[in-house]
Amino acid sequence: MYYETIAKTTVHPFYFPTQTVFVDDELDFISSMILIMPVEFSYYWFDNPMQALDYFQDFKHTGTFSKSLTLKFPECYVMPSFDFCLDESLVFKYLSSRSRFDEISSAVIDFVMPEMDGIALSSYIDDRIRKIILTGAADKDKTLTALNQGTINNFFTKEDKLSLQLIAKTIEETQHNYFSSLTSSIIDYLGQDHFIKNKGFKKYFYGMVFNRQIVEYYLIGPNKFLSLNSAGQCFLTLIEDHDSLSQHYEIAKSRNAPQDLLDQLNVGGLIPYFQTDDGFYDSSIQDWRECLYKQFLINASANKFVCTTFPISQYKEYDFDSIYSLEQYKHEFPDGDGGIANRLT
């Protein structure tokens, strides 16, 4: 469902599964809710509001990763630019940590619970987290008051047969809006003809996301996205235009590349990816045929550019074996009690 929700919107400079926290003393409802949650999402659950309160107050999950990715922006980019990218060393640092999956974007909270009701709990939760209340018909007036006061952001009645589907859709939209808010200043500073704003590229990119079951991605170079599926398998998307492809040809020619390679670069239809210090062909390349990938043409308003995506097992000096995947997070997160969340698997 997620891909259908966002396919007509922008591509973010980065995206990863944020966490949804469920708080409800009725475990059957939580179980039903989690069963329809998209597999690319992270979630936590509590059946006790006081335990949930401790979690919201004691755990560091209010944007540590996303804040660090945008920390130097926009000071470093004061004019529209095509050259923006994330700090790749910082991205790979956090890819080896589970902390990115602890970043909360939404909380779904039952109104009627022992010790503390859902609206009271919501008042203690950071405003950057979207708070959704589950209520009954008898509590609707109190819930509407909390909504008008800004204590909560949305509510659904448990009696509504469509409530589970509506909550799931709201969580999906919240996930998207969370990253739109985080990266809006970056998007504003990119040039109007930047590929990330192009409808054709968005169609290509989200098709790739769907087909390869991507759950997170990062703009690690001015023209490259690193994407990961839930198992931590990595893919690289390259975006090139006529000038950059011509540069590949000219540099390869100046470095006495084989004529067959020059012919392939000159004819077009393929995008080169050389894992060299400068990203261009040099004599260290053993088999240049393994460095060429089929391109897909994207028509832009002012120019044309091409894309390709392929799996990678190495990127520069970074160790892929240390990547902490969403699947690993879901299987290794500890169960417990005494204020620690139990986990449904």
User: With the C-alpha atoms ordered 17, 75, 222, 243, is the resulting torsion angle positive or negative?
Assistant: positive
DSSP string, 3-66: HHHHTTSPPPSEE---EEEEE-S-HHHHHHHHHTS-TT-EEEEES-HHHHHHHHHHS--SSHHH
pLDDT of residue 138: 63
* 3-class secondary-structure state, position 254: helix
Query: Left if phi > 0, otherwise alpha if psi is -120 to 50, otherwise beta: which for 338?
Result: left
Residues 287-310: pLDDT tens digits? 999 999 999 988 755 567 899 999
133, 153 Cβ separation under 8 angstroms: no
Is the pTM above the cut of 0.85? yes
Q: Is the pLDDT of residue 273 over 80?
A: yes
Residue where the block lists tokens 């708080």:
23
| Interacting residues of 93 by C-beta distance below 8 A, sequence separation 6+ | none
Residues 95-122: pLDDT tens digits? 999 888 888 999 999 999 989 999 999 9
Residues 62-76: pLDDT tens digits? 667 787 887 655 444
Q: Which domains, from first to last, does the chain contain?
A: 2-190 (3.40.50.2300), 192-335 (no CATH)
Give the lowest-confidence range in 19-28, 155-164, 280-289, 312-321: 155-164
CB burial of 16-47 (b: ≥16 within 10 Å; e: otherwise) equals bbbbbbbbbeeeebbeebeeebeebbbbbbbb
Q: Is the pLDDT of residue 1 over 60?
A: no
Q: What are phi and psi of 266, to 5 degrees?
A: -75, -35
Q: Is the pLDDT of residue 276 over 80?
A: yes
pLDDT of residue 49: 94
Residue where the block lists tokens 């504003």:
188
Hey, how many other C-beta atoms are within 10 angstroms of the C-beta on 265?
A: 24
Q: Is the pLDDT of residue 61 over 70?
A: no
pLDDT band at 344 (very low <50, low <70, confident <90, very high): very low
Query: Which of the 8 DSSP states describes residue 121?
Result: H
Q: Is the pLDDT of residue 204 over 90?
A: yes
User: CA separation (Å) from 328 to 56, 91, 146?
Assistant: 23, 18, 38
Q: Is 84 exposed, middle or buried (CB count within 10 Å of its CB: 0-12, 13-18, 19+)? A: buried
136, 66 Cβ separation under 8 angstroms: no
Residues 141-162: pLDDT tens digits? 899 999 999 999 999 988 787 7
- Give me the mean pLDDT over the 260-273 stretch: 94
Query: Could you give the percent of the chain with pLDDT greater than 70?
Result: 86
DSSP string, 255-294: TT--HHHHHHHHH-SEEE---SSSSS--TT-S-GGGGEEE
